[in-house]
Amino acid sequence: MTPILKNTILSILIGAFAFIAIGLVQEHVIRVPDSTTRIAELFIIIVAVFAAGFVNSSSSITASTSSESTDEEDGTVKWFNFKKGYGFITRDQGDDVFVHFRNIDGDGRRSLSDGQRVRFVVIPGDKGLQADQVSTI
């Protein structure tokens, strides 16, 4: 599901909920939009929620892309088991991080060779640090 579609669906649901909640607070009844004015009110709420969600998601995308570029590290593949789909990369700082085949960039066969130089981002994993966005250099 694309972020815009997800934001649209969430905006409609939140907008409808807000419209119903406003009706309950003002008139103590659940109202259904039965006039042009009520439909316009619902539309304004949905557009406001959509705009707020879009602004929030675009700022978080900007923040994540700017932080990703500074967090990249280089390292060397210590070992990688193609059959099991995982291995370890030795960071240039000296410690090892886990790497799973799903975290290797590229299409088709995603595998690494022992001794291969790679660039990656370190993220927290289930059992410790792991490499993500792994690409060969």
- The pair of structure tokens assigned to 128 is 């410790």
Q: Read off the pLDDT of residues 102-115 as tens digits, 9 standing for 90 and up.
A: 999 987 778 999 99
Confidence of residue 2 (pLDDT cuts 50, 70, 90): confident
42: Cβ contacts below 8 Å, ≥ 6 apart: 15, 16, 19, 33
CATH fold group of domain 73-136: OB fold (Dihydrolipoamide Acetyltransferase, E2P) (2.40.50)
CA gap 67, 85 in Å, rounded: 28
